[in-house]
């Protein structure tokens, strides 16, 4: 399935220089990778996005992706189960939630002691792109329980992989109580790059793709053996999933 906002964000944009010499390129492809461009173009074809015309999409889709995920989850989760007190926010620091409330005390000590600041740092003060919390769950701190932390990455690059892993690992290590669902939402078209974040030792629970079915069709029709193998690996292991399953997972937990 495809996220309901996918075609508002995915489309064609002008390109002065790219690997295939195209005048227009998919706005989520790496223009230095012919395979990325071909697979992304196939995705747009399966989404019925017209070739040969510039699409009316955001110039920088990263922020709009975060907002789209935030708005969609807020709307659909409230409709599915209004009794749970859903709160969906962008950029909320994790100390606002029950499992991480104690980090506020740690932060106060660190800020009061310059030596501690040097030794410990402050990288435990994570601000996930989108947070899903439950206001009606009774907690010891009185703060809402963090149900999920969603890292929204328009595309995947090596630095973004390390950032996602680091943030998730910090949230695993520092939590007190139940671990939230730690996930990534992306439009990345290259399966090997999806594998770079989907593989691993469990820092990230799952990667949800906003155009999963179109990706599957494009990989089957255009990808080389390396990319096809990577796609079959991460989808076969259920490490890369359709965005629609994120809603179902959050609603059923």
Q: Which pLDDT score is estimated for 109?
A: 61
pLDDT at 116 over 90: no
Question: Residue 247 sits in which domain range?
Answer: 61-252
Q: Which residues of 10-21 are buried (b: 16+ CB within 10 A; e: fewer)?
A: bbbbebeebbee
pLDDT at 122 over 60: no
> 66 in a domain, yes or no?
yes
- Is 64 strand, coil or helix? helix
**Closest by alpha carbon to 6, among 64, 76, 51?**
64
> 3 in a domain, yes or no?
no
Q: Which pLDDT score is estimated for 179?
A: 95
pLDDT at 71 over 90: yes
pLDDT (average), residues 148-160: 93
> 29 in a domain, yes or no?
no
DSSP 199: S
> pTM value?
0.93
Instruction: Please state the domain count of the chain.
Output: 1
Please, which residues bridge with residue 88 across strands?
A: 132
> 114 in a domain, yes or no?
yes
Q: Which pLDDT score is estimated for 124?
A: 65
> 92 in a domain, yes or no?
yes
Rounded Cα–Cα distance for residues 143 and 135 (Å): 8
- Helices (H), ranges, 56-188: 62-80, 103-112, 114-120, 158-174
pLDDT (average), residues 175-203: 93
Question: pLDDT class for 118, splitting at 50, 70, 90?
Answer: low
> 217 in a domain, yes or no?
yes
CA dihedral 42, 45, 50, 54 (to 10 degrees): -30
Report the percent of the chain where pLDDT is more than 90: 81
> 193 in a domain, yes or no?
yes
Instruction: Quick: pLDDT tens for 77-103.
Output: 999 999 999 999 999 999 999 999 999
> 18 in a domain, yes or no?
no
Q: What is the domain-level CATH number for residue 184?
A: 3.40.50.10010
Q: Which pLDDT score is estimated for 104?
A: 79
């Amino acid at each position: 399935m495809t996220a309901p906002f996918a075609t508002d964000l995915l489309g064609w944009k002008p390109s002065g220089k790219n690997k295939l010499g195209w005048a227009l390129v998919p706005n989520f492809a790496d223009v230095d990778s012919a395979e990325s461009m071909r697979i992304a173009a196939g995705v747009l074809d399966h989404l019925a996005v017209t070739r040969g015309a510039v699409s009316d999409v955001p110039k920088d889709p990263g922020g709009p992706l975060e907002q789209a995920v935030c708005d969609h989850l807020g709307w659909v989760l409230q409709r599915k189960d209004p009794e749970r007190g859903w709160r969906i926010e962008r950029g909320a620091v994790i100390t606002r939630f029950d499992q991480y409330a104690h980090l506020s005390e740690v932060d106060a000590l660190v800020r009061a002691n310059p030596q501690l600041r040097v030794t410990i740092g402050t990288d435990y003060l994570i601000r996930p792109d989108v947070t899903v919390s439950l206001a009606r769950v009774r907690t010891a701190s009185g703060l809402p329980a963090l149900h999920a932390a969603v890292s929204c990455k328009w595309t995947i690059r090596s630095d973004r992989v390390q950032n996602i892993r680091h943030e998730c690992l910090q949230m695993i290590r520092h939590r007190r109580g139940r671990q939230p669902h730690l996930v990534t939402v992306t439009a990345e078209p290259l399966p090997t790059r999806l594998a770079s974040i989907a593989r691993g030792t469990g820092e990230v629970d799952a990667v949800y793709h906003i155009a999963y079915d179109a990706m599957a069709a494009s990989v089957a029709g255009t990808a080389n053996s390396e990319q096809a193998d990577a796609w079959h690996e991460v989808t076969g292991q259920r490490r890369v999933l359709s965005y629609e399953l994120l809603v179902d997972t959050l609603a059923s937990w």
